[in-house]
Structure 1
């Protein structure tokens, strides 16, 4: 959307806002720097970087009130579950709202008049039109330009390729539990340092919320980053999932590839994270009573 705006396909935006969780892949920060230099700055569109802190550091700090990640849980009785997801709201939406208030001239706790608002673009394509929703405050009016244009994910990729941005990475925390196997493999195979980082984090959260543990809460189970509920460096990330196979089939020009045994493919969730459009938000339904992870 930033490129479309900078190139005159969409109206010129006043600002672009990037909500930084503090734990994005190195390639995302490099890409953001490139966007700012080559696309945004020449068009006169400021990129504002906002943050509520470093999600990795906060998760391991017993003194910090942590907004829980949707971790996969293996309870002592063998039952499986997930902790509730609060990270998108805390580390994406909250800092964006704070920045928008400041841009409008009404920082919290000032009351914003009813007729004062921003038109906010959210980058959801037609593939995920069901995720398009309004903001929950009246001073932000969400719009979805890609849907208005009838653009699918493939259209976006073609456009990015045409302007030299074919290598645009997905924005999500390095250790997001909603990563698909392809994303875990990409980290492992292309960035050994970041792979060691997520493996270490996965081991560190095995006993759950650092604050709860420091307070002596009873341990009801174990927490994991991978849906197999195995340590990340032992998880079956080399398995090709059903979603990966479907995406691969879309890219093939012929239908000659062999069809795998579907029963052997684990279910997958699209990786990536966006304010108002976390792709895995429907999967995190369990509350703190299941594991005592939420502070």
Structure 2
């Protein structure tokens, strides 16, 4: 959407906001720098980076309040579940809303007058139209330009290729539990330091976040980053899931695609988090429900 705005296909935006969780892959930060330098700056579009902290460090800090991340849980009775997903709101939506209020001239706790709002673009393509939703506040009206111009994910990929941006990485936390096996493999095979980082984090959160344990609320079960609910270093990430096959078929348009290396199709948007999956939900400290 930034590129489409910069080249005049879409109206020129006033500002682009990137919510930084502090734990994106190195390639994402490098790509953002390139977009700012080669696309946004020449078009006169400022790029603002906002943050609520470092999600990895906060999870392991016993003195820091931590918004729950969607970890895969193996309960003591063998039942499976997931912890509640709160980190999208805390580390992406919250800092964006804070910045928007500042832009409007009504920083918290000032009340934003009725009728004062920004139009916020959310990058959802026609493949995911069902994820389009409102912002939840009156001073931010979500719009979905890619849906308005009837662009699919394939259209976006072809456009980026024409711009020389075919290597655009997927934006999501390095240790996001919703990575597909292909994404885990990519980290392992291309960035040993980042792989060591996520393996270490996976082991560190086995009993839940540090704050809960420090306050006498240990996790009733064990937590994992991988859906197999085994340590990430041992997880069957070389297995190609049905979802990954479906993702590849969608990208290439070929039902008999043979290359399984695409991973999860979409990136991670604040208003379209992949956390909304049909997985059993559990309390922070209780059994799966």
State TM-score, norm by structure 1. 0.92
Checking the alignment, whether the CA contact within 8 Å between 1:180 and 1:271 is kept in structure 2 is: no
Separation (CA, whole Å) in 2 of partners of 1:155 and 1:241: 25
Q: Are residue 278 (structure 1) and residue 276 (structure 2) matched? A: no
The Cα shift of 1:273 comes to 1.2
Checking the alignment, whether the CA contact within 8 Å between 1:83 and 1:290 is kept in structure 2 is: no
Q: Report the counterpart of residue 50 of structure 2 in structure 1.
A: 50
Q: Report the counterpart of residue 155 of structure 2 in structure 1.
A: 155
The Cα shift of 1:248 comes to 2.9
The 3 A distance-change label for structure 1 pair 11 and 185 is same
Checking the alignment, whether the CA contact within 8 Å between 1:178 and 1:270 is kept in structure 2 is: no
The Cα shift of 1:272 comes to 2.7
Q: Report the counterpart of residue 239 of structure 2 in structure 1.
A: 239
The 3 A distance-change label for structure 1 pair 193 and 108 is same
Q: Report the counterpart of residue 290 of structure 1 in structure 2.
A: 286
Checking the alignment, whether the CA contact within 8 Å between 2:207 and 2:218 is kept in structure 1 is: no
The Cα shift of 1:243 comes to 1.6
- State the Cα deviation string for residues 34-92 of structure 1 (Å, max 9, x = none): 00000000000000000000000000001000001100001111111100000100000
Q: Report the counterpart of residue 168 of structure 1 in structure 2.
A: 168
- State the Cα deviation string for residues 222-256 of structure 1 (Å, max 9, x = none): 00000000000100000011121123334568666
- State the Cα deviation string for residues 80-124 of structure 1 (Å, max 9, x = none): 110000010000000000000000000001111112100100000
Separation (CA, whole Å) in 2 of partners of 1:103 and 1:287: 37
Q: Are residue 230 (structure 1) and residue 225 (structure 2) matched? A: no
Q: Report the counterpart of residue 101 of structure 2 in structure 1.
A: 101
Q: Secondary structure at the match of 2:81?
A: strand
State TM-score, norm by structure 2. 0.94
Unaligned runs of 5+ in 2: none
Unaligned runs of 5+ in 1: 261-267
Checking the alignment, whether the CA contact within 8 Å between 2:15 and 2:46 is kept in structure 1 is: yes
Q: Between Structure 1 and Structure 2, how many residues are aligned?
A: 285
The 3 A distance-change label for structure 1 pair 157 and 209 is same
Q: Secondary structure at the match of 1:141?
A: strand
The 3 A distance-change label for structure 1 pair 104 and 243 is same
The answer to which of 65-74 and 218-227 deviates more is: 218-227
